[in-house]
Structure 1
Amino acid sequence: MTLHSSSVEPQFDFDLPAQPLASALNRFADVSGRAALFSSTLVAGRSASPVRGRLTPRDALLRLLEGTGLAMEEVSAGRVNAFVLKPLGAQAEAAASVRARLERYDGLVQARVWDALCADPRTAQGDYRSLLRFRVDAAGRVHRAQLLGSTGDTRRDAVLVATLERVRIDRPPPDMKQPLAMLILPAQAGGPSCEDAARP
């Protein structure tokens, strides 16, 4: 038989921008009324991730610690509950570093591809939908580009593939899985606009 607690962990409205970790932890405690215990040397030089929204203290703290190399452990002593911060294990910290590097490269790929599409009026109209699949070689060149379904215009399909094949990106991380896929949405469906790409 499994017992479920009838109490529900309260939620709070958090609006914590990216900032030095020590400052963010103090603001976290002010908002939630929950202490996070840490040494000053442990958090020195680390930056907190932004946290916004209505969240439980536990979920908010997990978001705040993303990318810091720290983990939290919840401890209770009588009626006192607190979070204790500690370093991630070496393996977990390495995995977090890999994820961050891949996410940065994904963002670079999307920016370079979108810039290339916006540079050609035949692909910058923003009134079509397309799923692109391609690979990036060791020199950062896009190759083996293909469309997974037509945009509805065979000439535009050919231009899309040719445009992709001209894109140059930085050398990809060696542990990045390929091929890559990128979905292009019409502007009215929430896709990016070339006006956005043109802004500095």
Structure 2
Amino acid sequence: MAVSGADAEGTVEFDIQALPLQVALERYSSLTGWSVLYQGALAQGRTSRAVKGRFTPDAGLRMLIDGTGLMPRHSGPDRVVLLPTASAPVRSVAPARTPPAYIAYYGSAQANLRRRFCQDARLAPGDYRAAIQLDIGGDGRPRRVKLLDTTRDPSLDAALVETISATAFEAPPAGMPQPLTLLILPKTVARSADCPGGRNAAPVTEEEAAHG
């Protein structure tokens, strides 16, 4: 997949200052086209490192989160889940050792949303980005969907919230920290291998049983 803004070697020109982690990750996602998923509480009180220069998206992300106590885990070619490292401070909502069941669930939920975006012509194309926060109930239905960073298009914002709210997920593991925060560029989704056929791709029957 061609990374948004990448050169022939797959590198991207970064110019991100040290910022609150959520803001820095949104800028990272906008530059690279990578989607990033993490527990919402993990960004609280954390600041990114400055990243300036031309790097691959993977190297840029590792530099960005260096020293935050978080580590990236790939859930696809351009999808990453952020997890606390074993040495990160223990918080009530962010255990130092993330249970495998949580990691698997993150990957499954991320892939599920990717499929839904691929199926909807309103969401697959376009040069927009969004930061989405969602809480998934015990029945697998989203209880709350919030756009942390909007697309600046009210109709598109409404379509995103409508689609995510109507998405059926697997029931989350007991005790899994919520809400989840997802940074995603639907334009990149439409161009990726997860959307065969382009804008109006047919539904995918199975993709990534694990979210991590």
The TM tier, using the shorter chain, reads 0.3 to 0.5
Larger RCO: 1 or 2 (CA < 8 Å, sep 6+): 2
Q: Structure 2 length as normaliser, TM-score? A: 0.44
Would you tell me which structure has more helix in proportion to its own residues?
1
Rg comparison, structure with higher value: 1
